[in-house]
A and B are shown apart, each in its own frame.
Chain A
Amino acid sequence: MSDDVTFRVFRGEPDESGKPNGKMVDYTVEMDEGMVVLDVIHRIQAEHAPDLSCRWNCKAGKCGSCSAEVNGKPRLMCMTRMDEIMHETPEGQPILVKPMQTFPLTKDLVTDLEWAYQINQTIPPLSGPDEMNWEFDQIEADRVQEFRSCIECMLCVNTCHVMREHQLFGQFAGPRFFVRLANLEMHPMDEEDRIAMIKDDFGIGYCNITRCCTEVCPAGINITDNAIIPLKERVVTEYYDPVAIIAKKLGIRK
């Protein structure tokens, strides 16, 4: 048995000034059991709007391509089950699907993530001993392993109010890149010191710990508690803790 479902999808492109310019269009399609939001979008493409743009790849929550805002919540379309969406949507109300609104619009549900590629290149990569016989304990590896499950879907950046509401893309690295920085800084073999960059160039002080990034992470990374706050604590040690600063000057700590 199948029901019809109505999606209200953003259709449009940026205008000459780069601002999103488009409209919400209703599409009604048949919904089968077990469908996810991305399946419905594909059915809309197949039956009503072959020119509807959406980015997707793995359909398994691993590539991070199909990020969008469904009923106002940032989520991966391929991992959002329709039965959950139908449960949360009031009877007779269409399901709202919009692109990630923090990033510049390319077309319809596709956004331009060029900023993410640019900032990624500014982060000093892992720098360990020249000898490649790196050995460390599992207990040390476990901490950074969590960060490696990031799929770079950018839902966290899209949700972060520092980016979404204030567009501090020039001053603030955003949750995704604090996850990468935490991965590098806490790596047991890494010898690079990025704390000054984390404070000044990547602007960790702009984060006010509202945890929205953690709430939307489809990989389940505890971004705020395990990446951002530990980095903030390291910044405190270097710049705001008088005892730690004196200890460093006296050579008691590195």
Chain B
Amino acid sequence: MGGNIALPLVRGFGRTDRIDSWWKQPLWMATALTAAVIYTGLRVVFFDGEIHYDNHRVTSPIFSPDIIHMFDISAPSWANSAMLILWIPFGFRGTCYYMRRVYHRVFFQNPTGCVVSKPEISYRFGYKGETGLFVLNNIHRYMLYLAIMVLIVKVYDVWHTMQFHEGSSDTLGVSVGTLVLATESFLLTMYVVSCHAFRHMFGGGLDRWTGKFGRIIGKVYWRVSSTNVHHAFWFWTSLAMVFIGDLSVWSVAEGILSDPVLIML
């Protein structure tokens, strides 16, 4: 390969010839992600009192799967299920190919925007990309496997919200809480199936899709690819819905909002 190339003409943090508002996107993304992390931290550590209502019929998405309750685990009073399971969604989102784009841009300024120069520190320490510490991102497919397991529990959570217990009788129904958790599960499902590692698993790793089974895999690949195009959309909407779901559960549990039953079978 060739030798070094002359340096770009414009250099220095944030320096660019671009005249558009390139800084807006990284700014709102940094704000949104920071808010998400702070909210989660505060909720899990300090405000974990109201995480469900109707005797666990509806559970907050942040604390689901509520394994401490599900398996009747004896845990210290300060512990909650989120502390035990949040590393899975955090790990899955943290190693997500879309998320890498976001955090390399907004937290590491590597670069903040396209054709925008970087802070001096980026040059001083050299650039390793994903050959250094960030090589750990390659565990993404294993985080995907775990995320799929969590997703199954999330779908079960929706089913669980439909089970009403009144006295000794059990009835099926749909409340607003059901719709909130169903929306959250749907968005998370779309986020997971539009994942790049998921696409690799379903045909992306193959060069040929021959034979009856191969053709089916090929069709699945193209279907997954059509959702993959919107991976960023599913990332943000599913993330937002986790917090909307949590706020909704907290509000009902606190008595601020009610959870009207829409259908009772």
Q: Which residues of A contact B (CB under 8 A)?
A: 10, 14, 18-20, 69, 71-74, 88-90, 93, 96, 98, 101-105, 114-115, 118-119, 122, 136-137, 139-140, 142-143, 159, 161-171, 185-188, 190, 203, 205-212, 215-216, 222, 224-226, 229-230, 233-234, 236-237, 240-241
B167 an interface residue at 8 Å Cβ cutoff? no
**CB pair B5 A233 closer than 8 Å:** no
**Cβ 8 A contact of B114, one of A104, A216, A226:** A216
In the complex, which range does the number of interface residues on chain B fall in? 35 or more
- The answer on a CB contact under 8 Å between B129 and A208 is yes
A122 and B104 in contact (CB under 8 A), knowing A139-B219, A233-B204, A240-B138?
Answer: no
26 A-B pairs whose Cβ atoms sit less than 8 Å apart in the complex: A18-B6, A96-B19, A101-B8, A136-B210, A137-B218, A139-B218, A159-B115, A165-B11, A170-B1, A205-B130, A205-B131, A207-B129, A208-B100, A209-B97, A209-B98, A212-B114, A212-B115, A215-B114, A222-B229, A225-B231, A229-B196, A230-B200, A233-B141, A234-B205, A236-B141, A237-B200
Q: A137-B209, A225-B229 are in contact. Are A169 and B8 (CB under 8 A)?
A: no
Q: Please classify the interface of chain B as helix (H, G, I), strand (E, B), loop, or mixed, using the class held by over half of its residues.
A: loop
Measured between beta carbons, the chain A residues less than 8 angstroms from B175 are none
Q: Which residue of B lies closest to A97 (CB)?
A: B17
Question: How far apart are the CA atoms of A225 and B135 in the complex, in Å?
Answer: 18
CA distance A236 to B142 in the complex (A): 11
How far is A89 from B20 in the complex, measured between Cα atoms in Å?
A: 9
* A89 lies within 8 A of B196 (CB): no
In contact, A169 and B111 (Cβ under 8 angstroms): no
**Measured between alpha carbons, how far is A159 from B114 in the docked complex, in Å?**
7
The verdict on A187 contacting B118 (CB below 8 Å), with A205-B131, A207-B130 known, is: no
Select from chain B the residue with minimum beta-carbon distance to A241.
B141
- When distances are taken between beta carbons in the complex, the residues of chain B under 8 Å from A140 are 207-210, 218
A71 → chain B closest CB, angstroms: 5
Task: Known A-B contacts: A73-B18, A118-B1, A210-B110. Give 12 more (CB < 8 A).
Answer: A19-B6, A20-B9, A74-B115, A88-B20, A139-B209, A139-B222, A164-B8, A165-B127, A215-B114, A222-B229, A225-B196, A233-B204
The 6 closest A-B pairs by CB, nearest first: A72-B17, A212-B114, A72-B18, A206-B129, A205-B131, A115-B2
By secondary structure, the A interface counts as mixed
Residue of A72, A166, A171 near B16 (CB, 8 A) is: A72
B6 and A210 contact, CB distance less than 8 A: no
A136: chain B residues within 8 A (beta carbon):
208, 210
Separation in Å of the A22 CB from the closest CB of chain B?
Answer: 9
User: Among A119, A222, A224, which residue has its beta carbon within 8 angstroms of that of B1?
Assistant: A119
Does B101 make an interface contact (CB < 8 A)?
A: yes
Decide yes or no whether B123 CB sits under 8 A from chain A.
yes
Tell me the complex Cα distance, A69–B19, Å: 12
A207 to B221, alpha carbons, bound, how many Å?
A: 24
Residues of the A chain whose Cβ atoms lie less than 8 Å from the Cβ of B209: 137, 139-140
B120 to chain A, nearest CB (A): 11
- Contact: A169 with B208, CB < 8 Å? no
User: Which residues of chain A are within 8 angstroms of B222 by Cβ–Cβ distance?
Assistant: 139, 142
CB distance from A138 to the nearest CB of B (A): 10
- What are the residues of chain B within 8 A of A14 when measuring CB–CB? 6
Which residue of A72, A187, A190 contacts B115 across the interface (Cβ within 8 Å)? Answer: A72
Chain B positions within 8 Å of A93 at CB level: 19
User: Distance in Å from the Cβ of A227 to the closest Cβ of chain B?
Assistant: 12
**A137 touching B215 by the CB < 8 A rule?**
yes
